[in-house]
Amino acid sequence: MSKLRIAVAGVNGRMGRCLVQAVTAAGEKCELVAATEHPESSVIGADAGEIAGVGRLGVAVVPSLRDAAAFDVLIDFTRPQSSLDNLAECVSRKSKVVLGTTGFTDEQKGQIAEFAKQTAVVFASNFSVGVNLVFKLLEMATRVMGDYSDIEVVEAHHRHKVDAPSGTALSMGEAVARALGKNLNDIAVKERNGIIGERKPGTIGFSTIRAGDIVGEHTVMFADIGERVEISHKASSRMTFANGAVRAAQWLSDRTTGLFNMQDVLNLK
Ligand SMILES: NC(=O)C1=CN([C@@H]2O[C@H](COP(=O)(O)OP(=O)(O)OC[C@H]3O[C@@H](n4cnc5c(N)ncnc54)[C@H](OP(=O)(O)O)[C@@H]3O)[C@@H](O)[C@H]2O)C=CC1
Ligand SMILES: O=C(O)C1=N[C@H](C(=O)O)C[C@H](O)C1
């Protein structure tokens, strides 16, 4: 059987380097055939394997996906505009996409859904197995305690993260809001400062910590008077996201079009 040909965008990023390691570790099933970086990056022309610390792979980093060799699936964990440009290129090449970038606006998410009518896309704010299990646990907790408890989402990430709240925190909020039969945009509280008055019932609060090298931690709290339930996930290595993304790339082999998420890949729906 021929190997799945994978391209990685943003190969010199924190996730980009882990993704090359994960593709290489997938050995017989996958091979890295292309890698991109920001056009002004100092690593353009360098070997993607050497950047990721897995040894020479013979894949030189190119400044645009348009310059990349033929590939079956792009794995993209970069920035919203760069990912949208890459999706357009994948549609024109009939390549599939695993999309892990966060921080998209609602309008940009609509554009991703349009692209997914023309190629198959797995788009997930978090590719770890554990977080996707948490999404299911949140549905149950919301069914039991959602109507009367105060729901708060707390997330912590490293100092370099540029978007807030994290994509995962928002997905957790969406899972809870869906189980409540509500739209997250109508009930989310993302800022609190000064004399803001008592907590409004039925809202979902979001708190953000940015510090040091925290890989990614999320807690959803269901708090009543006298007791509270907290559902937490802590990632201690980015390889958990990278391995999930490579698993998603392989899962896409059976799909031609459509927008999927990691719960589809893990059969958790
Ligand atoms: N879904 C999930 O499971 C996870 C999602 N993420 C998300 O992935 C994204 C990346 O995170 P992280 O790796 O920490 O960030 P980094 O900043 O380390 O990496 C992003 C990389 O993309 C590069 N880049 C930016 N624009 C372009 C472009 N036009 N072409 C090619 N490369 C480009 C950046 O280059 P430069 O620095 O030169 O701009 C950088 O190397 C974030 O949105 C993050 O939230 C992260 C972990 C898990
Ligand atoms: O930027 C990160 O690092 C992460 N981003 C994702 C998010 O925004 O949820 C996933 C993970 O928590 C790490």
3-state secondary structure of 17: helix
Mutate to test the pocket of ligand 2, among 19, 102, 155 (most ligand atoms within 8 A of CB): 102
Sole residue written with tokens 């353009």: 44
- Report d(CA 204, CA 206) in Å as an integer: 7
Q: What pLDDT, on the 0 to 100 scale, is given for residue 269? A: 86
With vertex at residue 47, the alpha carbon angle to CA 43 and CA 49, rounded to the nearest 5 degrees, is 115
3 carries an active-site annotation: no
User: 125 in ligand 2 pocket by Cβ < 6 Å?
Assistant: yes
Query: Residue with the nearest Cα to atom 38 of ligand 1?
Result: 38
The phi, psi pair for 188, rounded to 5°, reads -80, 140
Query: Residue with the nearest Cα to atom 10 of ligand 2?
Result: 126
Sole residue written with tokens 């993304």: 245
Query: Residue with the nearest Cα to atom 2 of ligand 2?
Result: 161
Note the pTM of the prediction, 2 decimals. Answer: 0.98
The reply, when asked if residue 166 is annotated as ligand binding, is no
Q: What is the DSSP string of 126-147?
A: ---HHHHHHHHHHHHHHHHHTT
- Report d(CA 35, CA 32) in Å as an integer: 8
Sole residue written with tokens 């996707």: 132
Q: Are 180 and 142 in contact (CB under 8 A)?
A: yes
> Active-site residue among 3, 136, 161, 182?
161
- Report d(CA 7, CA 76) in Å as an integer: 8
Q: What pLDDT, on the 0 to 100 scale, is given for residue 238? A: 98
Q: What pLDDT, on the 0 to 100 scale, is given for residue 41? A: 97
The reply, when asked if residue 152 is annotated as ligand binding, is no
Q: Are 112 and 84 in contact (CB under 8 A)?
A: yes
Say if the ipTM goes beyond 0.90: yes
Q: How does strand 216-223 pair with strand 228-235?
A: antiparallel
**Can you list the domains of the chain with their CATH numbers?**
4-123+238-265 (3.40.50.720), 129-235 (3.30.360.10)
Q: What are the strands, taking DSSP E only, across the chain?
A: 4-9, 30-36, 61-62, 73-76, 96-99, 120-123, 150-157, 188-189, 204-210, 216-223, 228-235, 258-260
Residues belonging to the chain: 269
Q: What pLDDT, on the 0 to 100 scale, is given for residue 14? A: 98
Q: Are 121 and 88 in contact (CB under 8 A)?
A: no
Number of H helices, E strands in the chain: 9, 12
161 carries an active-site annotation: yes
Q: What is the pLDDT along the chain (269 residues), one digit of tens a residue?
A: 799 999 999 999 999 999 999 999 998 899 999 999 999 999 999 999 999 999 999 999 999 999 999 999 999 999 999 999 999 999 999 999 999 999 999 999 999 999 999 999 999 999 999 999 999 999 999 999 999 999 999 999 999 999 999 999 999 999 999 999 999 999 999 999 999 999 999 999 999 999 999 999 999 999 999 999 999 999 999 999 999 999 999 999 999 999 999 999 999 98
Q: What is the DSSP string of 22-58?
A: HHHHTTTSEEEEEEE--TT-TTTTSBHHHHHTS---S
Q: What pLDDT, on the 0 to 100 scale, is given for residue 27? A: 86
Closest CA to 99 of 116, 256, 156: 116
Q: What pLDDT, on the 0 to 100 scale, is given for residue 242? A: 98
